[in-house]
A = this chain, B = another copy of it.
Amino acid sequence: MQTQTPLFRQVARLLEDGILDGEYTPGSAVPSSIWLSSFHGINPATARRGLNELIARGILIARRGQPAIVAPDAITALVASRKEELPAALAPLIDEATRVNMTQEELLELVSRVAESRGLYAVQG
């Protein structure tokens, strides 16, 4: 019924998170496909496919016989592509708010409250 995100996409997503969170910095190496496959208990080909996706998108740079490195502009590229995904990710939550008869004002008030609770504070005027 529900479709699950493919494993290779989940691998790519975790690496993206690592880059955005500063765990892997531009110019430094990300884990190898062997390491990823052993750490996550997945097929090496799946780990490789996740890495290859990021190489194809220019987020990682492949190196012969060594793990890929993070591209110099990886963060800018990732921030842009993640921002583009947000509206689609918000849509089901907005539909859910509509379903429980919330007004837009109540929804914004809730978002603001949850944002504060997670450290995303309103800028002081």
Interface residues in chain A, defined as those with a beta carbon under 8 Å from any beta carbon in chain B: 1-2, 4-5, 7, 10-11, 14, 17, 20-21, 40, 42, 79, 82-83, 86-87, 89-91, 93-105, 107-108, 110-123
Contacts and interface: CB of A to CB of B under 8 A. Distances in A.
Q: How many copies does the complex hold?
A: 2
17 contacts: A1-B7, A1-B11, A1-B14, A2-B5, A2-B10, A21-B99, A82-B96, A82-B100, A89-B93, A93-B93, A94-B114, A102-B120, A104-B112, A105-B122, A105-B123, A107-B120, A108-B108
B114 A90 contact: yes
Nearest to A9: B2
Given A86-B110, A93-B90, A114-B87, A98 B79 contact: no
